[in-house]
Amino acid sequence: MNRLSLIVAVISATLLTAAPTLTVSAAEIPTYAPLPPALPPGTKLPTVVIMSMGGTIASRGTPRLNVANYGGKGVPRVDPQDWFNDEPELATIANIRLEDGRPPVERASGETQGDDLRVAARLRVLMQDPTVDGVVVTHGTNTMAESAFLMNLIIDTAKPIVFVGSQRPWTALSGDGPRNLYDAVRVAGTKEAAGKGVLHCMNQYINTARDVSKTSAYRVQTFKGIDVGAIGFADPDIVKFYREPLRRHTMASEFAGRDYKELPIV
């Protein structure tokens, strides 16, 4: 061994023996997306009613990769109880009550104006129930913004009403329905959501019913408050609001509190 090789060998041996051993415990590794904080024992959960008005979130597709042509004649719909059975996490964030406000399965025309008014009448009753803290309304995305805006005008309440749906059927691989429903229940059970009018929550974005619009036929990030943006987010660890809607809605609306039997065709 020549002199240069000997020097290199000595330096290498010194560094190896002197190098400290680095150990990292699991507790020191931060998680990328924190979970919602566990509720303290004895915490009273909010009571949230999930009202189904159908839509993609209440549809099944076969096979699981089918996210475009699903449902149809002979394919069973997803009942509200199916959501609760498939998503036991809902019971950890709220006392869930289930209601089915869908039109009859045999009706070919689907949802009508009368269905909206029928559900609106039921929502008025639920909002007067002192044991109910909030309501989640599941709905098809094609007319969700319009139905939510109607409720924003005619329901006289300060309690949260949150519309939610999905762009993929409940049974789809990587379906957005389960997470959207979970987040909507979190928003409806959050005290900070009170007094903000009817809200819409999908893809973690919280928008007002008045301002939200559908911008894509099947992208999961389709709903946006185009002119004013989201007012908050259902982040993994917290539901957070950043702005207040200032335009009249619900209790301050001139149309609220009436039992409408029909509406003019517009």
Catalytic center residues: 56
- C-alpha closest to that of 163 among 47, 36, 45, 53: 53
Written as one string, the DSSP assignment of 79-115 is -HHHHHHH-GGGGGT-EEEEEE-PPPTT-TT---HHH
- C-alpha closest to that of 137 among 217, 213, 209, 203: 209
Distance CA 134, CA 131 (A): 9
| Burial class (CB within 10 angstroms; exposed 0-12, middle 13-18, buried 19+) of 228 | middle
State CA 18 to chain mean position distance.
54
Tokens of 36: 């919602």
Angle at which helix 144-154 crosses helix 113-127, to 10 degrees, equals 50
3-state secondary structure of 162: strand
Distance CA 211, CA 227 (A): 7
Whether 196 and 207 have beta carbons less than 8 Å apart is answered as no
Tokens of 43: 């915490």
3-state secondary structure of 233: strand
